[in-house]
Structure 1
Amino acid sequence: MKAIAYQEFGTTAVLQTVEQTKPTIKADQVLVRVKAFSINPMDWKIRKGEMTLMSGSKFPKLTGADFAGIIEEIGTSVIGIKKGDEVFGVVKNMMKEGASAEYVAITSSLVWKKPANISFAQAASIPVVGTAAVTALEKMGNIGSQTNILVNGATGGFGMFLLQLLKQRGAQVTAVASTKGAEFAKKWGANSVIDYTKEDVLSQKATYDIVIDLSGKMGYKTAKQVMKPKARFLNPTPKPIEIPISFFSNLFTSKKHIIVLSSPSTKYTDVLLSAVKNGLQIEVNKVFPFAQYKEAYDYAEQGGYIGKVVVEIN
C-alpha cells in the first residue's frame, strides 16, 4: 500500500511516498480503507522536530492523525461495526503513528460510524480539532450568558467547532479573525468580531473572563492585558516548557494559564456527533488529491484559511 512518510525532520520536502505492507489486525482492531485524512498543525510541528520530547527521533515517521474510510476487516472481538461500514477515526498516538496511508489498522474504540449527511472529507475533519474544542469547553468551567470569552484565531478547524459549541452554551463570544473569516465567525456564533487586519485586540477596552488562543501567536503574557482579575487563559498549543511553567506560575497569580491537552474518546465524540446531528457545520476549505499531498501541507502551513484542509485517497 502507499503511505506518506519521512526519514528526517524538515519542511514538506522531506515527505515522500513509500510502499508498505498492508497492515494486519489484532482481535480488537479494524482495518479501514482510508478515503480521506485531514491536516492538523501538530502534523508539521512533529515533522519539523518541535515535539521531539514526545515524538522521539526514530524514523521513518508517518503523518496525519484523523481519517475517514470504509471498514474492510474486523477483529474477532469487535462488536457494533461491520465490514462495509463508513467510519471516521483517529490514531491512538499521533506522535508515533499516522493515518496518511491507503489502509489503517486501528483499535475499534477509536473508530465511529460516519453520519450519512456528511462527506468523508468532513468526517475526517472531526476527531482532533473537535475533541480539542470539547476539552476546551471543559477547561472553561461553568459558562453562560454572563461569560465573556475571547477566541483568538477563531476560524480554523478548532475555532469552527468551538464557536458553534459555545453558541449552544449562550456565552458572549468575541472572535478575532481575518476579514474573510469574519462572516464565518458570525455564522458560527460569535457575538462580535475583531478583524485583526484592521484592529489590535489589545487596543480594545474590553476585558474577558476567558481568553483562548487558537493561533498560537498571542501567548499568556500578552493575553494578561485583556484578562479580568480571575480570568483563565486557555493554551491548546503549548510549547513543552510551558506545561511545567504554567503549573508553578498558577500558584502565585489569579490569572490562570490553563494548558489544554486533548485525547479523542467516545465520550467526546458522542458530544460532537450530537452536535453534527443538530446542525453543526463542518467547513472543508480545500480538498487535495493524494498525489498533491505536499501542496496540501504547504497550503495548510501557510494558514489564513477557513475550516479544514483534507487529502483524499481514491
Structure 2
Amino acid sequence: MHIMKAIVYKEFGTTDVLQTVEEPKPTIKADQVLVKVKAFSINPMDWKIRKGEMTLMSGSKFPKHTGTDFAGIVEEIGSSVSGLEIGDEVFGVVKNMKDGVSAEYVAVTSSLIWKKPVNISFAQAASIPVVGTAAVTALEKMGDISAQTSILINGATGGFGMFLLQLLKQTGANVTAVTSSRGVAYAKKWGATSVIDYTKENVLSRQAGYDIVVDLSGKTGYENAKKIMKSSALFLNPTPKPIQIPLSFIKNLFTSKKHIVVLSSPSTKYTDTLLEAVRNGLDIEIHKVFPFAQYKEAYQYAEQGGYIGKVVVEVN
C-alpha cells in the first residue's frame, strides 16, 4: 500500500486543529483521475468550514481535509476517462464541502479537471477555479451591464476581485474599486474606472449612485449598502451566512433594492470562459507561496486578509 502525507483536522477550530497525517494514496474510480498535487490555493470557505460555520453543507464527519482548488500532474486515469493522458499538467477542483485537496495526491472526477495553460504556473492555475467561477457567476447575476452601469466593488483586490475587475473591464462598465493603499495600483491595472482607498475615505459617505454593489470583503452588509444604492439596485453577496440565503429571497419580494446571494459551483462552462480570459492575458497575482510544511502559517496568514491576489501552498 502506498502512503502519502495529508493535512487533516479531527474537530472544528482554529488553525491549531490542522495536523499532518499519513494516509493511503487514494484509489480511483472509473470516472476519476489521480493527480499528484503541485499546489493548492487558499479560499475563505476553507476556514469557514474548518471553524464549523458551514455544518449544514459540510456535515460533521471527521477527519476532514481542507482546500478545494489545486493544480498538478496526472498520475493515473480511470477506465472511462477520455481526453487526458498520464503526465498531463492539469488544474481542478473538488466538491469542497465534503472533500479536500490538501495532500500529496488527490482523486478527482474527470469532469472537474482541465488542462493547465502552458503560460501560467501551477500556483496560478490552482488559484482559478473557486474565485474565477465566483467572478463569472457574479457577472451573470448582474444581468445586462453597459458603460452606463455604475458598479461598486468592496474588497476589490483579493482573489475574487482580481478576476471580477478584469472580467468587468471587457463590459465597459463604470467600476469603482474599494481597496487598501497597497491595492490601489492593482485595482487600476485590473481595469477599475476609479479607486477608493478605504483608509482615506468611507465609501458609505457617498451619494446613492450605484446600480450594483458587490461586497467581497463581507464587511459592508446589505443594510449599510442600501444607503449608496439607486432605487432598483442589486447588492451581490458572495459570502452569505447560511440564514441569509432564505431570508434574502423573502425580503426581495418587498423591496426594489435586491439582496442577491451569489453561490457558485465550478463547471466546464465557467472554466472555458476563464481559460479564454487567461489566453487573452488575464493577470493572476500570487501574493505569497508557502511550502507544504508551513501550511499552518499559510492558513493563519490568509485568514488575516488584506493581501492582493491569492495565497497558495506548494506541495511537491
| TM-score, normalisation: structure 1 | 0.99
- Give the paired residue count: 313
Q: Is the 8 A contact 2:37 2:70 kept in 1?
A: yes
Q: 2:57 aligns with which of 54, 58, 61?
A: 54
Alignment RMSD (CA, Å): 0.6
Question: What's the counterpart of residue 301 of structure 2?
Answer: 299
Alignment of 1:220-231 (within 5 A): 220-231=222-233
Q: Is the 8 A contact 2:209 2:230 kept in 1?
A: yes
Gaps of 5+ in 1: none
Q: Is the 8 A contact 2:35 2:73 kept in 1?
A: yes
User: 2:308 and 2:116 mapped to 1: Cα distance?
Assistant: 22
Q: Is the 8 A contact 2:208 2:230 kept in 1?
A: no
Task: Give the AA of the match of 1:11.
Answer: T
Task: Report the CA distance between 1:231 and its aligned residue.
Answer: 0.3
Q: Using the aligned pairs only, state the percent identity.
A: 81
| TM-score, normalisation: structure 2 | 0.98
Gaps of 5+ in 2: none
Per-residue CA deviations over 1:47-99 (Å, capped at 9, x if unaligned) read 011111111111111100000000000011111111000000000x2111000
User: 2:291 and 2:165 mapped to 1: Cα distance?
Assistant: 29
Q: Is the 8 A contact 2:38 2:122 kept in 1?
A: yes
Question: What's the counterpart of residue 24 of structure 2?
Answer: 21
Question: What's the counterpart of residue 32 of structure 1?
Answer: 35
Say yes or no: does 1:288 pair with 2:265: no
Moved over 3 A (4+): none
Per-residue CA deviations over 1:87-141 (Å, capped at 9, x if unaligned) read 00000x2111000000000010000000000000000000000000000000000
Q: 2:137 aligns with which of 114, 120, 135?
A: 135
Task: Report the CA distance between 1:173 and its aligned residue.
Answer: 0.1
Question: What's the counterpart of residue 71 of structure 2?
Answer: 68
Alignment of 1:164-313 (within 5 A): 164-205=166-207, 207-313=209-315
Per-residue CA deviations over 1:211-263 (Å, capped at 9, x if unaligned) read 00001111110110110000000000000000111000000000000000000
SS in 2 for 1:263: coil
Q: Is the 8 A contact 2:208 2:227 kept in 1?
A: no
